[in-house]
Amino acid sequence: MYRRLAVVFIFLFSVTFSFAQKGWEVGGWLGTSLYYGDLNNKVNINSPGLAGGVLGKWNFNSRVALRGSLNFGHISANDADSDNNFNRNRNLSFSSNIYDLTAGFEFNFLEHIRGSKFETYSPFVFVGLSAFKYNPTAELNGQKYALQKLGTEGQDISQEYFLFSGGITLGAGFKYDISEDLTFAAEFTTRRLFTDYIDDVSTTYPDFARLQAVRGPEAVALSNRALVDGIGVPGRQRGNSSDNDRYTFLSLSITKYFGRLECPKISKI
């Protein structure tokens, strides 16, 4: 996978075009955020969250742009919404705000030339890297708890998972010029993360006696919320650590172009 990404980056830099259209593009987007992981392993769209952000681009030409964005999204999931018996009886849930910084390269499949009567739209793809902050929480008896601090899978104090992580971002969309300097785009971006803990679920149930002694009864209650006996057993699978979590943004954006058109050179012949 990483080799393919390297090939994409090399290709983007190697492409040259006669209609160079350099310049900045700045705007914002609104949409929804979706989560995929241990509490939603069949990509059920049960709990879409509000999402939005700001973005900026430097257009190298009519096809390639370097892009950065600062994004926010809310994600959540509940085992009660699952169609899997084990998940429903496991009975875990979480929610988290996501603060995301993403940068990478955008490539237009068609030439996108502002001011043109014809090259006013294009499908595009995006490849980049993301860094983000998260903090999974859950409610118990009407009170919200930050789960990372409770070590719900038996993590020792000071050995909890980090609340900052990153991921590889892939996206695709379609853009259309509203005017010479305004562009509308619809886009899908997904992040393949370097962590499996944005939902606080990854490995096995801990030793509950030790967890209570170190973290307290709330940690035990939030670690094991099983509805039937035999699920919340120390050492039994609580999550799937072999497949990291993901989150996705579906967005509608408007950007304003601040560059200028560079006309092709006129032949002297």
For each of the domains in the chain, give its residue range(s) and CATH number, in order of start: 23-257 (2.40.160.20)
Average pLDDT over residues 196-224: 97
- Residue range 114-146, pLDDT digits in tens: 878 888 999 999 999 999 999 999 999 999 999
Alpha carbon distance 108, 115 (integer Å): 17
Is residue 20 very low, low, confident or very high in pLDDT (cuts 50, 70, 90)? low
Among the residue ranges 2-16, 62-76, 222-236, the one predicted with the least confidence is 2-16
Q: Give residues with Cβ within 8 angstroms of 139, minimum separation 6.
A: 93, 145
- Report the pLDDT value the prediction gives residue 15, as an integer from 0 to 100: 46
Distances (CA, A) of 55 to 40, 202, 206, 218, 256: 29, 32, 42, 41, 10
- Report the pLDDT value the prediction gives residue 47, as an integer from 0 to 100: 84
Alpha carbon distance 52, 77 (integer Å): 19
Is residue 76 very low, low, confident or very high in pLDDT (cuts 50, 70, 90)? very high
- Residue range 26-62, pLDDT digits in tens: 999 999 999 999 999 877 777 899 999 999 999 999 9
Average pLDDT over residues 65-84: 96
Q: Which two tokens stand for residue 36?
A: 């995929």
Q: Give residues with Cβ within 8 angstroms of 19, minimum separation 6.
A: 61, 62, 111, 113, 262, 264
Among the residue ranges 108-122, 124-138, 164-178, 243-257, the one predicted with the least confidence is 108-122
